[in-house]
Amino acid sequence: MPDYVTMLRPETPTPGISRDPSASMPQDLVEQVRGRVQLLALFLIIGIAIDPLFYFVGWIISALSGRPSPEIHQRFGFQMVNLGMVAVSLAMRWAARSPRVSINRLIWLGLAWEIVICFLCALTTYWEEFVLTGALPSLTWVAAIVILFPMILPAPPRRMLAASIVAAAMSPLSLLLLDQFGMVQAAPNNYVQAAVSPAIAVVFAYLGARNVHGMGRALVAARELGSYRLEEKLGEGGMGEVWRARHRMLARPAAIKLIRSPVNGAVRAGVSEEMIRRFEREAQTTASLRSPHTVNVFDFGVSQDGSFYYVMELLDGLDANTLIRRFGPVPAERAVFLLLQMCHSLSEAESVGLVHRDIKPANIFVCRYGEDLDFVKVLDFGLVKALSMKTNGQAGLTRQDMVQGTPAFIAPEQILGKADIDGRADIYGTGCVAYWLLTGQLVFDAPSPTALLVDHVHTPPAPPSSRTDLPIPEALDRIVLECLEKDPARRPQSARELSRRLAEAVAPEAWTEVRAKSWWSTHELA
Which active-site residues does the annotation give? 358
> Nearest Cα to 205, choosing from 247, 244, 163?
163
3-state secondary structure of 234: strand
How far from the centroid of its chain's Cα atoms is residue 318's Cα?
A: 14
How is 46-107 classified by DSSP, letter by letter? HHHHHHHHHHHHHHHHHHHHT---HHHHHTHHHHHHHHHHHHHHHHHHHHHH-TTS-HHHHH
The length of the chain is 526
What's the half-sphere exposure (Cβ side, CA atoms, 13 Å) at 96?
Answer: 24
Are 164 and 146 contacting, i.e. CB atoms less than 8 angstroms apart?
yes
Are 366 and 338 contacting, i.e. CB atoms less than 8 angstroms apart?
yes
Are 102 and 70 contacting, i.e. CB atoms less than 8 angstroms apart?
no
How is 126-182 classified by DSSP, letter by letter? HHHHHHHHSS--S--SHHHHHHHHHHH----HHHHHHHHHHHHHHHHHHHHHHHHTT
Determine phi and psi for 137, rounding to 5 degrees.
Answer: -75, 150
CA–CA separation, 457 and 410 (whole Å):
10
CA–CA separation, 152 and 84 (whole Å):
22
How is 417-440 classified by DSSP, letter by letter? T-S---THHHHHHHHHHHHHHHHS
Sheet with 224-225, strands from edge to edge, namely 224-225, 228-236, 240-247, 253-259, 308-312, 297-302
3-state secondary structure of 253: strand
Q: In angstroms, how far apart are the furthest CA atoms of the chain?
A: 103
Are 320 and 361 contacting, i.e. CB atoms less than 8 angstroms apart?
yes
CA–CA separation, 468 and 330 (whole Å):
11
CA–CA separation, 131 and 113 (whole Å):
27
